[in-house]
């Protein structure tokens, strides 16, 4: 049967070609494209045997591993909807996603199974595990064990272009996370565009150091590799040592700005190391123009910066062939329509003026899971999605993202919405109110700063607050600094002036 996404990604794959090299302490494992077919079939059979039916959500919060990639493909083959969750989320955070998405199965890290048993029982969700494979004598989790016993033959469940392939949750300014529904066509069309626009071929080797619970690492990196028949060097995460070790055998590196700032600060990273490289790509957070320039001066490579969102996949890119302009995210990708409009009237603005960026195309998601009213609010009548990002274009058409109207903080490539943390901080003993902002950070791009106002006659302690919230919110969302003030700056309408706070503390984390 035709499975739109799986057939599209792997329809031209050569089973004999190498898909992945996975370095570990015990050596390098290799995965051929035949292994991709076989292991994803085994896991697809396993999911079906466990009761997963077409359209069911398969929620996962597992360590990065090649088997986790195979689980994604298995869910697609079984006609299910893949729902990856950030590995930093706490049990209380995961509860919201599981309650909202109602998956038929939740697969977690084996080391965290005991933490999730009560939650799975409470929500009546089947709980299984998947970890990082180390050797044949040690289990990588229940799903992996069951997969070893399953058949390598699997008849793919028929799925059309409009069927859901994945749900990725993105936080909202109200503190309520929204599940962006991505269809098979959303994912496949974007992969096809990127393969062509960025010049991917079977000769490429992508150095994969990104997490795989969001768009960048799972869809941009992995889907383009699969569709082009190229290879991955699949790292468990980013470290200077690992990246520098494997760059000589790579042709492409995809990263967040933090990758590049850390490499530039390493004396081992020089022009000779990367002379052979074809392409460096940056995304998930704004790349400082200074970083772009410094990188080019050292390596003679120009980083290609692009722009996307969970809801839109990739929408714009600096050109592969042509000028890659520092401080911009290039042009709309082929087939994608971009416009910059006035936030009040919706009228298209002339070149050079700042407005809200809106996107339309096959890459744009179909809506928010179980939120029809929110979906309606975020789309224009003519199908354009209102991103909430502030942007402008120059005379040559290059797009520059200049701000975020919804106060989104991007730290180390991760999206952090202030309202979620503010709601938690406001619950703490002695806190009257809070305001959370992002300020420049030399390593992460932006760092989280929380400003607290104490209740009358109450002495707040930064250490006490940090300790009290650490188990309730992911570490990457936690403040890097807490400031205690007598009152928050407000405008005449009583709204907190976060722009004033950002300006006051813009140098707080620079040293």
Residue 130 in any domain: the answer is: yes
Q: 476 with 416: CB under 8 angstroms?
A: yes
Tell me if the pTM is above 0.85.
yes
Q: 510 with 486: CB under 8 angstroms?
A: no
Per-residue tokens: 185: 């066509």
Radius of gyration of the chain (CA): 23
Burial (CB < 10 A; 0-12, 13-18, 19+), residue 297, is exposed
Domain span holding position 159: 4-18+33-182
Residue 128 in any domain: the answer is: yes
Q: What is the DSSP string of 111-151?
A: GGHHHHHHHHHHHT-EEEE------TTS---HHHHHHHHS-
Residue 72 in any domain: the answer is: yes
pLDDT for the residue numbered 175: 53
Residue 136 in any domain: the answer is: yes
pLDDT for the residue numbered 490: 80
Tokens 């991505």 — which residue?
A: 182
pLDDT for the residue numbered 172: 47
Q: What is the DSSP string of 447-469?
A: EEEEEEEEPTT----HHHHHHHH
CATH number, domain at 40? Answer: 3.40.50.980
pLDDT for the residue numbered 494: 57
CATH number, domain at 426? Answer: 3.30.300.30
Q: Which secondary-structure segment (H or E) carries 76?
A: helix 66-77
Last residue of a domain, one of 182, 202, 219: 182
Residue 497 in any domain: the answer is: yes
Last residue of a domain, one of 182, 198, 223: 182
Last residue of a domain, one of 126, 155, 182: 182
Split the chain (511 residues) into runs of 10 and give each run's mean pLDDT: 94 96 91 98 98 98 98 98 94 95 98 97 97 90 97 98 96 68 98 98 97 94 98 96 98 94 95 98 86 95 96 97 95 98 90 94 97 95 93 95 76 84 91 91 92 92 94 94 92 71 92 70
Q: How many domains does the chain have?
A: 2
Cα–Cα dist 334/315, whole Å: 9
Residue 230 in any domain: the answer is: no
């Amino acid at each position: 049967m035709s499975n739109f996404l799986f057939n599209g990604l792997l329809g031209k794959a050569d089973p004999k070609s190498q898909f992945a090299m996975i370095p570990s302490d015990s050596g390098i494992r290799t995965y051929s494209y035949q292994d991709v077919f076989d292991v994803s079939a085994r896991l697809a059979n396993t999911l079906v045997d466990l009761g997963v039916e077409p359209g069911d959500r398969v929620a996962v919060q597992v360590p990065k591993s090649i088997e986790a990639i195979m689980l994604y493909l298995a869910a697609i083959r079984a006609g299910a909807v893949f729902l990856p969750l950030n590995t930093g989320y706490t049990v209380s955070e995961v509860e919201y996603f599981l309650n909202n998405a109602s998956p038929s199965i939740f697969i977690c890290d084996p080391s965290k199974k005991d933490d999730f048993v009560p939650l799975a029982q409470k929500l009546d969700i089947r709980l299984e595990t998947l970890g990082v494979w180390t050797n044949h004598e040690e289990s990588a989790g229940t799903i992996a064990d069951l997969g070893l016993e399953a058949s390598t033959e699997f008849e793919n469940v028929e799925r059309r272009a409009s069927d859901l392939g994945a749900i990725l949750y993105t936080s909202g300014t109200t503190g309520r996370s929204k599940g962006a529904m991505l269809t098979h066509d959303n994912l496949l069309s974007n992969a096809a565009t990127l393969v062509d626009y960025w010049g991917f071929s079977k000769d490429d080797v992508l150095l994969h150091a990104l997490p795989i619970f969001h768009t960048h690492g799972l869809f941009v990196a992995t889907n383009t590799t699969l569709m082009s028949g190229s290879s991955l060097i699949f790292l468990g995460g980013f470290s200077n040592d690992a990246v520098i070790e494997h760059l000589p055998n790579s042709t492409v590196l995809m990263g967040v700005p933090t990758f590049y700032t850390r490499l530039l600060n390493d004396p081992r990273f020089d022009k000779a190391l990367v002379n052979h490289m074809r392409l460096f790509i940056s995304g998930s957070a704004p790349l400082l123009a200074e970083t772009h320039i410094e990188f080019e001066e050292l390596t003679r490579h120009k980083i290609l910066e692009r722009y996307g969102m969970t809801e839109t996949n990739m929408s714009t890119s600096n050109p592969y062939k042509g000028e890659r302009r520092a401080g911009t995210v290039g042009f709309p990708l082929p087939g994608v329509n971009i416009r910059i409009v006035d936030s009040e009237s919706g009228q298209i603005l002339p070149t050079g003026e700042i407005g809200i960026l809106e996107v339309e195309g096959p890459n744009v998601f179909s809506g928010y899971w179980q939120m029809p009213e929110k979906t309606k609010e975020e789309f224009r009548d003519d199908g354009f999605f209102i991103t909430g990002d502030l942007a402008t274009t120059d005379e040559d058409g290059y797009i520059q993202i200049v701000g975020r109207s919804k106060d989104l903080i991007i730290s180390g490539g991760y999206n952090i919405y202030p309202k979620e943390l503010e709601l938690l901080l406001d619950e703490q003993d002695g806190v009257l109110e809070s305001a959370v902002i992002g300020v420049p950070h030399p390593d992460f791009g932006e760092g989280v700063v929380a400003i607290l106002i104490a209740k009358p006659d109450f002495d707040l302690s930064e250490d006490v607050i940090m300790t009290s919230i650490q188990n309730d919110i992911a570490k990457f969302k936690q403040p890097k600094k807490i400031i205690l003030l007598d009152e928050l700056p407000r405008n005449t309408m009583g709204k907190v002036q976060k722009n004033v706070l950002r300006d006051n503390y813009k140098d707080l984390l620079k040293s």
